[in-house]
Structure 1
Amino acid sequence: MAVLFALSLVAGAVTPLQGRVNSALSSAVADPILAALMSFSSGLAAMVLVTLLVPSGRRAASEVLPALRRGQVRWWYYSAGFIGACLVFTQSLTIPVIGVAVFTVAMVTGQVVGGMGVDRLGLTPAGVQRIGPRRLVGAALALAAVLVVVWPQLGEALGGAANTGGAGTDAGAAEGAGLLWLLMAAIPVVAGFGTSVQQVFNGRQSAAYGSPIPVTLINFLAGTALLGLIYLGKAVVAGASGPLPAVWWMYMGGPLGCVFIGVSALLVPRIGAFLTTLGLVAGQLLGSLLLDTVAPVDGAAVSAWTVVGTLGALAAVVLASWSGGVKRVPRA
């Protein structure tokens, strides 16, 4: 169990670095859709190489069609990559309105609630799991940890939302702007819940193929196809974006995403979606702490809020995974 949670922490820790890389690429091309497409494309290229070069990857890939024929895998499981692509759109759509802090809290809320829900319904290969007191406390502690980390920025975002409209606007316009802000804040909650569905689809495929390698490949194939169609439509209407940057590390967001998706697909069949989510969230906070310590940007500095929140998230993982924290219910 300790090894599995260590993997979840590592996978979560690469997420802030991926975000930093993708953000740099988006700024360089001045087009978030193209940046997302290039990120997915680089991840797809990496997974093609891994699948071809790793013997276990080739063996697992040969099980994709047989598993589909046997009914172990349903065709709609392949849509998991679309969910990842939609998450990228959610970021570009909502963050300019609600800010990173509100987005993070809303996203994690959806992930935690969704993870508990799919585990309780027994939708993952890990089986049906009761929501015991330790899980509830662990979930609350994880959410509190995220709130602590983003609290300074969260206050500014909520204050800005309350003052939306400002002087010189009528009550109707201010109310409309407030409703728009609430809608934008609700979208990441739905997206977070959607990642739990993505974990279910990926976990079932991983269990059927015996490896997360083909699962990750299919995710990036589906996501690249969807983003490619969207960018093509945008290019027809508004024209193509400028030349791509020649800086190699700006294209590493996709391979980093491979680590996140692959480890998630590996863990969900073994420990369930909820505990996987807690480990990934704790890893994200830990990765952010390390990144801001080693390579801060824009004057960012590590605060006591960040340290306390990260420790709280790690405590949530330990508490929720403690003996007795996970009670599996035999399938009927």
Structure 2
Amino acid sequence: MLAMLFGVIAGAIMPIQTSVNNRLRQSVGAPLMASFISFFVGTLSLIIATWITSGHPYPGLASTAGQPWWIFIGGALGVVVLTGNIVLFPRVGSVQTVILPITGQILMGLLIDAFGLWHSPHAPLTLLRILGAVAVLLGSLGAVGVFSKKIAGQGSVQGASIWLWRALGIVMGMCQATQVAINGRLGIVLGSAVEAALISFAVGTAVLYILLVLTRTPWRGIYNAAGEKNPWWMWTGGIIGATVIFSNAFLAPIIGTGVTVVVMLLGMMLASLLIDASGFLNSPRRTIYPAQIIGLIVIIAGVALIRL
């Protein structure tokens, strides 16, 4: 019971990370810069975690010899997910920023399981799993407001272009599911989920640094236009991300991967609703409608059918 409660709390901090990184973006001015800082802070956190758990601050790479090159691209996929979250959040709100990637994650997860992609365990498609995927899709449509003009009209982007942003959210979820599979394989190769997470974050940090150089993204500083110092918590997004990765690695052996996904998803749903309703951490405040709550319940039921 305590492990499941911990899973709900771990899931709840995921949308908080999005809010924190969005606040960081407002300060530094560019999504790429905000992502780089978040990844860098997360990398430092995981170096400390690796040092504590293994006795050395770096992962052992000897076991990766002869392994396929793609086991190292998880960090690059993480760049797509994190930067996409920062860009998507102010345009569609916290709930949609959570729901849309979940849809992509479920769809890609079914494909990965069905075909054993990235050396993942093979799990053939069954009627129950297909029904679960359909439930997730229907719940997602309800939560993002397809069935209610009032809900659909809450985002800062309106009209046909909103569907491009929603498509980006689904692609982000597909990248996230692929990242989980790839990092899972890397963790098996290294024998340590923490070291696999460190490599993923380090690769992501390097990719973002290269992108910053290529795009000549300026550093705007840590003070706002009025010359006031920004809140300290806007620098903690990377620590939150590292904590989520640790939570996955810690909980899965105790309560199982399926239950871990469900309880963390529950935490994500509850937290994103609260963030939209309360404007937590300077996030835009939005009205929550019954259709959204029903959609979230349907999503949770669909994930339970797929995972359990």
- TM-score, normalising length from structure 1? 0.73
Q: Is the 8 A contact 1:114 1:193 kept in 2?
A: yes
Pairs within 5 Å for 1:83-102: 83-91=77-85
% identity of equivalent residues? 25
Q: Is the 8 A contact 1:37 1:224 kept in 2?
A: yes
Q: Is the 8 A contact 1:126 1:271 kept in 2?
A: no
Q: Is the 8 A contact 2:80 2:175 kept in 1?
A: no
Q: Which amino acid aligns with 1:121?
A: F
Is 1:212 the equivalent of 2:193? yes
CA offset at residue 212 of structure 1?
1.2
After superposition, give the CA deviation of every residue in 1:49-96 in whole Å (9 maximum; x if it has no partner): 111123xx448965x323212x4x433211101111122333455667
The corresponding residue for 1:221 is 202
Q: Is the 8 A contact 1:215 1:262 kept in 2?
A: no
The corresponding residue for 1:325 is none
The corresponding residue for 1:30 is 29
CA offset at residue 129 of structure 1?
0.8
The corresponding residue for 2:46 is 47
CA offset at residue 29 of structure 1?
2.4
CA offset at residue 148 of structure 1?
2.9
Q: Which runs of 5 or more structure 1 residues have no equivalent in the other structure?
A: 163-177, 323-332
Is 1:67 the equivalent of 2:67? no
Distance 1:203 1:233 in 2: 31
Change (3 A) 1:98 1:304: closer
Q: Secondary structure at the match of 2:123?
A: strand
Q: Which runs of 5 or more structure 2 residues have no equivalent in the other structure?
A: 224-228
Pairs within 5 Å for 1:1-332: 9-54=8-53, 57-58=54-55, 64-69=60-65, 71=66, 73-91=67-85, 105-123=99-117, 127-151=121-145, 152=148, 155-156=152-153, 162=159, 183-235=164-216, 239-243=218-222, 245=229, 247-264=231-248, 280-291=264-275, 296=280, 298-322=284-308
The corresponding residue for 1:168 is none
Distance 2:202 2:171 in 1: 23
Q: Is the 8 A contact 1:203 1:268 kept in 2?
A: no
Q: Secondary structure at the match of 1:19?
A: helix
CA RMSD of aligned residues (A): 3.7
After superposition, give the CA deviation of every residue in 1:122-167 in whole Å (9 maximum; x if it has no partner): 2366621122222222222233333333325653279x754xxxxx
Distance 2:230 2:89 in 1: 27
After superposition, give the CA deviation of every residue in 1:239-288 in whole Å (9 maximum; x if it has no partner): 4323365532111111111123344466789967x887665544321222
CA offset at residue 118 of structure 1?
0.4
Report which stretch shifted further, 97-106 or 121-130: 97-106
Q: Which amino acid aligns with 2:183?
A: N
Aligned residues: 297
Distance 2:132 2:274 in 1: 23
